[in-house]
Structure 1
């Protein structure tokens, strides 16, 4: 092999230096020139040492040692030890002659065959994994009604295949005697492999995050509130940002940098952001509380301190309520989450409680008949729940005799409830009219006493 080709093979053996090399690198051209000059100087020194060793008289080895390391024969330059060859980036191969001097860079023929076999096995393992294992999982997932399992199989397909190849590369590199000087190629290869594994795992977590967001979307489609639909993209983006930050921190740590300062900076920045957006974050967490607790939904009639109306929209920052007077109220979610809310749309029944007043001219017998007639009306009505009827002569009012009427109806719709009250009130009026009893209205009688004997 010529001198120039040997230098080229040495250059290919050492490869390009990693970004973290200790020697300064100005430009690629200057760095290439310096490396070539260094290798030429090392080559000349090796040639001089070999020639000096050839001039010294020494016994010719016999058997398999003939032509071994440290022997100069027929003008060929052979190294005294494998340390010199390893320092120059080459190892002697006795059984194979390439280019006329029987040398291969970095590894022997057996090691080369093992490395190629491991690489081939890695590709075969990846193909088997994708075709048989993932194929079986796809067949099982296609038979189910949910599309979540199909999304999981698609998410792990690409990253796991690359992970298998990287694992094969790791095993193959362990069989190579990569040099550690003048450039630490072994460390560079290990670091590159570790960074690729970190990126691949980050990619896998990103795709699994999309699957989780798809699952949340399927769950939120079954609810009436649009709030959870708005929270799904926010949750997906937040998880992806967290995964990306974690992957970046791991990459920086693997490069040899201390991440303590970086984490401290992130913590201080997060604290400053939290203090600046304190009210916004409080409203967001309030919306999450409303989503999880579900005290009301869009369209419900709610009552709390300061408002009474129908819920129109539930957002990330506030909730909009249309009051009965048709005015619109916007309540921050942080305030709404701490209020006591009455949800009138979630009634299981309604309670009627009112008073019927009759005049003081009503006799006791007429009062008994009036109470019995009202009780009979309620018991005969299909909209009144049995066992909840209470009709009693309750009080002597300022201008009337008061009959207390209480009952419960399973009708929860407010309009239908008002229709029931109307039917009951009309029936009570007809019954009292038939008994000759007058329903009183607020009156006040003034008696004037006339004095006859005046001075």
Structure 2
């Protein structure tokens, strides 16, 4: 049997103004959502077509920014339209005003965040920006933090929150957090220092302590280095900056010093020819600049020449190829002139036999004769 009493109570509840207003707000919000979607898609399409005609970077930024319009925020705007159309009293009007500000603030944050992300990607992808990758990342991160902090504080202030006390409490909490994560913060500041000062960048060959390798990645906390033996070395940014670092990538030329030792038996006229001979050989090599060649030392077994020249490149393999070619040329030219390299030689010279004094004890055998030897270097 049908319960007429329940039906009457339901009919009375449905006929209440609050329920009717809710249905009306919901209907207007749904209709407004689809209308806003169609309008936004049309506007974005027209803006994209208009901006695509110009090939500038700002046009590309504008396209990407408009594409980051949030559907959820469009739904919130549609709900606000419904709340504005239906008169719900002064209390709801205040709430609607707060909701409008919240929606606009969040959408502004999304648009600016999209522009920052696009700027970061474009800058890093450029050849000129590859050396500034860490700096660009740090700048983008700091700008995003400031952006969303401003959006959050603006929303809280619009909602009536006392942001002065809130900021003060955040300052005290920030000090406590900074003390707890001071190692991490130290690495972050070291990372920022690397990005600004640029003692090295990705691809540079560096040497510090017993580590020699190529920089593969510079992160917020660590730097990764591919060593000569093949393994990856991961070093804290703070500890890395505390080392004395040799950056061979920025070496424009390499100074080379080597010694040449010839025999003491070489005639003096041939000895005088050696500096000019070495200069001629080095000047015949490409990517080199001769500095000097001098008879520097009378060593124990040789006449030593000191030779200095420059390789006009930081490439280690090129330096070794040039030094090898110089050595081969020296071997050929010295052999043509019959100039011998010095070799350490030791000769033993036996002196005359020296008789020992006769034994003072009776019955002693006849004294033995010993030979005394002395050694000296022969050149």
- What TM-score, normalized to structure 2? 0.68
Contact 1:130 1:161 survives alignment (8 Å): no
Q: CA–CA distance in 2 between the matches of 1:454 and 1:436?
A: 48
Counterparts in 2 of 1:197-346, with a 5 A limit? Answer: 197-222=101-126, 228=133, 232=137, 240=144, 242-326=146-230, 328-346=232-250
Contact 1:354 1:404 survives alignment (8 Å): yes
Q: CA–CA distance in 2 between the matches of 1:439 and 1:427?
A: 14
Q: CA–CA distance in 1 between the matches of 2:306 and 2:272?
A: 13
How has the CA–CA distance of structure 1 residues 202 and 367 changed in structure 2, closer, same or farther, with 3 Å as cutoff? Answer: same
CA shift, 1:353, in A, is 1.1
Unaligned 5+ runs, structure 1: 1-10, 17-122, 180-184
CA shift, 1:157, in A, is 11
How has the CA–CA distance of structure 1 residues 314 and 160 changed in structure 2, closer, same or farther, with 3 Å as cutoff? Answer: closer
* Secondary structure of 2:295's aligned partner: strand
Contact 1:220 1:229 survives alignment (8 Å): no
CA shift, 1:218, in A, is 1.1
Between structures 1 and 2, the one with greater strand share: 2
Bigger-Rg structure (1/2): 1
Contact 1:206 1:243 survives alignment (8 Å): no
Counterparts in 2 of 1:35-434, with a 5 A limit? Answer: 135=46, 139-146=50-57, 147-154=60-67, 185-186=89-90, 189-190=93-94, 192-222=96-126, 228=133, 232=137, 240=144, 242-326=146-230, 328-385=232-289, 388-434=290-336
CA shift, 1:365, in A, is 0.9
Contact 2:64 2:115 survives alignment (8 Å): yes
Q: CA–CA distance in 1 between the matches of 2:199 and 2:241?
A: 9
Cα deviations by residue, 1:2-39 (Å, 9 ceiling, x for unpaired):
xxxxxxxxx78xx99xxxxxxxxxxxxxxxxxxxxxxx
Cα deviations by residue, 1:271-293 (Å, 9 ceiling, x for unpaired):
22222221122223322332343
**Residue of structure 2 in register with 1:20 after alignment:** none
- What TM-score, normalized to structure 1? 0.58
How has the CA–CA distance of structure 1 residues 138 and 446 changed in structure 2, closer, same or farther, with 3 Å as cutoff? Answer: farther
Unaligned 5+ runs, structure 2: 1-16, 23-34, 358-379
Contact 1:348 1:410 survives alignment (8 Å): yes
Contact 1:155 1:211 survives alignment (8 Å): no
CA shift, 1:159, in A, is 12
CA shift, 1:453, in A, is 8.0
How has the CA–CA distance of structure 1 residues 148 and 442 changed in structure 2, closer, same or farther, with 3 Å as cutoff? Answer: farther
Q: CA–CA distance in 1 between the matches of 2:120 and 2:215?
A: 24
* Secondary structure of 2:339's aligned partner: coil
CA shift, 1:299, in A, is 4.0
Cα deviations by residue, 1:303-343 (Å, 9 ceiling, x for unpaired):
12342233344333222334445565332111213433222
* Secondary structure of 1:389's aligned partner: strand
Contact 2:255 2:310 survives alignment (8 Å): yes
* Secondary structure of 1:360's aligned partner: coil
Name the Cα RMSD after superposition: 4.7
**Residue of structure 2 in register with 1:120 after alignment:** none
Cα deviations by residue, 1:176-225 (Å, 9 ceiling, x for unpaired):
xx99xxxxx55763563244124303321222111111111111123596
CA shift, 1:404, in A, is 1.4
Contact 1:283 1:333 survives alignment (8 Å): yes
Contact 1:310 1:321 survives alignment (8 Å): yes
Cα deviations by residue, 1:349-395 (Å, 9 ceiling, x for unpaired):
2222101011111232111122222222122223423xx33122222
